[in-house]
A = this chain, B = another copy of it.
Amino acid sequence: MGSLLFLQRMTRILIIFQVSILWVSIDVPPAEARIHNYTWEISYQYKFLDCYKKLSIAINGMTPGPAIDAVQGDTIIVNVINNLVMENVAIHWHGIRQIGTQWSDGTDGVTQCATMPGDTFTYKFVVDRAGTYMYHSHYGMQRESGLYGIIRVSLPNRQPEPFPFPYDYDRDIILSDWYHHNPYEQATNLSSIPFQWVGEPQSLLINGRGKYNCSLLGSSVDPEVCNLTNPTCSPAVLTVIPGKTYRYRIASLTSLSSFSFQIEGHNMTVVEADGTYVEPFVTQNLYIYSGETFSVLVNATQDPTRNYWATINVVSRKPATPDGLAIFNYYPNHFHKLPPTVPPPGPLWNDTDSRINQSLAIKALQGHVESPPKTSDRVIVLLNTQNTIDGKYRWSLNNVSHSLPTTPYLIALKENMSDVFDQTPPPENYNPDYDIFNVANNTNATSSTSIYRLIFNSTVDIILQNANTMTKNNSETHPWHLHGHDFWVLGYGTGKFNNETDVGKYNLDNPIMKNTVPLHPYGWTALRFRADNPGIWLFHCHIESHFFMGMLALFESGSVMVSDPPQANMGCGESKRLINNTILA
């Protein structure tokens, strides 16, 4: 066992111990851990992120929101004040496993009722592992309004084994896509008959900055609505000092898009994925899917007399959005000095092989990551299909499209409200005759609020199986994200997963542990995880519209061990049953 791994385990034990102390006496923090107490006012504000005036959700005025910067073992307290007037809010801490703090996972319909306007909800959790994580709205389609940010967790200085890859500076890059329609319009479109797709985003953003071609709005566009000279929409700048090595923590918070990220003329060494060290590999472009984080090292050793382009371009869908551009600025050149070159075009959008190859290249750094159990206790196969249900387009798993109940699952489980969600278990496999390469004859499916109940501490394999959508010759990329756990990524393949031949090819030696992983077109992805975190946890496609259209599952295990629901998490659905209006009256 690597010493970091040992330390991580010991730290986790210590942290669990600390948590229980912290909860009762936050005034006396342990000597080694700090408490970060934030107050976030959530409000709508007009922003010009891509030069187009759009009502955006801001945290203390910022879209994207402020970075959370903490040290492994620290406690994060965020008091979220909802000032959205008529809209509720819930914030998920993506990649934070919430061990012992399941009520702070921030998932509407799962762990809490969304927080109403005027109310304040306090999230409190420990960042128990160094790495790069993110936070974002987990309510309806609210994320697309810009309610997101990055979480940077560093190793403690006293750490005997420092970050295994030396670098000089640590920087953030938040990647996102940007729509001009608001989430209410998008949700209405997605629920309409006939179906109205949200379409490709209008802009791609690097650190919240992009550039929309205002002339597309016509020659008479009001300069107060779209204006390329608005200083708040100048390109993002990544300034480097010649000769130095930069660690870029890159987080993708797109609503839809998969990206290739690259820095013109510079190689990147991938060293971290979703908080786990990567056996380093060098690439010119990083493929990154919504919900993923990576750290890459970049040496600023190119021509220091000029600037370079940093770019994102859409892959896996036929692009209809201009590439996102930032300026990779060699100090002391002016940061607005445009590079003398044309931005690199990036890889072909439909070069699926290249993307699968990079997925396969992401392996855990030897000796630093816990190995997976050699076998699993249960295998759940999830066929990903697009379907119609009552005339509406939905996404389904094994022909079941999932929806969240009005009463959050965890409250229903803790309060024995068996009528809140469907008690019939969802299917664990699909018809072996299903033809994944063609449009299914029968695109009907059923809706359900059912959940997968897992034995606590058991080892579970998930085989994500992709298929053709309802459109001929089309299969999409789905980044699947698991709450409350990391999983080992045992393998990727193309075509239909073959239980007899593919299991033998699993990487059990150094699979990466991640919380988000792509399922490639017409392919499969195999995951293994230990159901060792009591509660009920979402597993879902991180494409916001796909999630809205039912592309999700719920994994419950050991929820009996979770503490009783805090009052703050309640107030919606059947949790009102518990209001005792005669206590004081």
Interface residues of chain A, those whose CB is within 8 Å of chain B, are 43-46, 55, 84-88, 113-114, 116-119, 139-142, 182-185, 187-188, 192, 218-221, 405-406, 414-417, 564-568, 570-573, 575-585
Contacts of A415 in B (CB 8 A): 581, 583-585
**14 A–B pairs (Cβ distance < 8 Å), ordered by A:** A44-B187, A85-B187, A86-B141, A88-B117, A114-B116, A116-B116, A116-B572, A117-B406, A119-B572, A218-B219, A414-B581, A415-B584, A415-B585, A568-B576
Bound Cα distance from A582 to B564, whole angstroms: 7
Number of copies: 2
Least Cβ–Cβ distance between A113 and chain B, in angstroms: 7
The 7 closest A-B pairs by CB, nearest first: A571-B571, A118-B406, A86-B140, A218-B220, A580-B580, A567-B579, A567-B576
Q: Is the CB of A85 within 8 A of B140?
A: yes
Q: Is the CB of A571 within 8 A of B572?
A: yes
Most buried by B among A84, A182, A184: A184
Contacts of A582 in B (CB 8 A): 564
**Pick the contact of A85 from B141, B220, B221, B565 — CB < 8 Å?**
B141
Known: A86-B142, A116-B88. A564 touches B581 (CB 8 A): yes
Question: Interface residues of A: mostly helix, strand, loop or mixed?
Answer: loop
Chain B residue with minimal CB distance to A114? B116
**Pick the contact of A188 from B45, B140, B417 — CB < 8 Å?**
B45
Least Cβ–Cβ distance between A572 and chain B, in angstroms: 5
Bound Cα distance from A406 to B81, whole angstroms: 12
Bound Cα distance from A141 to B117, whole angstroms: 13
Least Cβ–Cβ distance between A549 and chain B, in angstroms: 13
Bound Cα distance from A192 to B44, whole angstroms: 10
Given A44-B184, A88-B117, 15 extra CB contacts under 8 A: A44-B187, A55-B184, A86-B88, A87-B184, A88-B88, A114-B116, A182-B182, A218-B221, A564-B581, A564-B585, A567-B577, A568-B576, A570-B576, A578-B579, A580-B580
**Pick the contact of A579 from B114, B575, B585 — CB < 8 Å?**
B575
Known: A85-B184, A141-B85, A567-B577. A406 touches B44 (CB 8 A): no
Contacts of A573 in B (CB 8 A): 116, 118-119
Most buried by B among A116, A139, A141, A142: A116
Q: Is the CB of A571 within 8 A of B113?
A: yes
Least Cβ–Cβ distance between A83 and chain B, in angstroms: 9
Contacts of A184 in B (CB 8 A): 44, 55, 84-87, 182
Q: Is the CB of A583 within 8 A of B584?
A: no
**Pick the contact of A581 from B84, B141, B220, B566 — CB < 8 Å?**
B566
Most buried by B among A85, A87, A570: A85
Bound Cα distance from A142 to B87, whole angstroms: 11
Bound Cα distance from A213 to B583, whole angstroms: 58
Contacts of A118 in B (CB 8 A): 405-406, 572-573
Chain B residue with minimal CB distance to A89? B86
Contacts of A114 in B (CB 8 A): 86, 116
Least Cβ–Cβ distance between A581 and chain B, in angstroms: 5
Q: Is the CB of B571 within 8 A of A578?
A: no
Bound Cα distance from A483 to B183, whole angstroms: 34
Q: Is the CB of A414 within 8 A of B585?
A: yes
**Pick the contact of A55 from B86, B139, B142, B185 — CB < 8 Å?**
B185
Least Cβ–Cβ distance between A514 and chain B, in angstroms: 29
Known: A55-B188, A118-B573, A572-B118. A86 touches B183 (CB 8 A): yes
Bound Cα distance from A220 to B417, whole angstroms: 55
Least Cβ–Cβ distance between A43 and chain B, in angstroms: 8
Least Cβ–Cβ distance between A17 and chain B, in angstroms: 25
Q: Is the CB of B564 within 8 A of A188?
A: no
Chain B residue with minimal CB distance to A185? B55
Most buried by B among A43, A86, A579: A86
Q: Is the CB of A580 within 8 A of B579?
A: yes
Least Cβ–Cβ distance between A580 and chain B, in angstroms: 5
**Pick the contact of A218 from B88, B142, B218, B572 — CB < 8 Å?**
B218
Least Cβ–Cβ distance between A578 and chain B, in angstroms: 5
Least Cβ–Cβ distance between A92 and chain B, in angstroms: 15
**Pick the contact of A416 from B88, B141, B584 — CB < 8 Å?**
B584
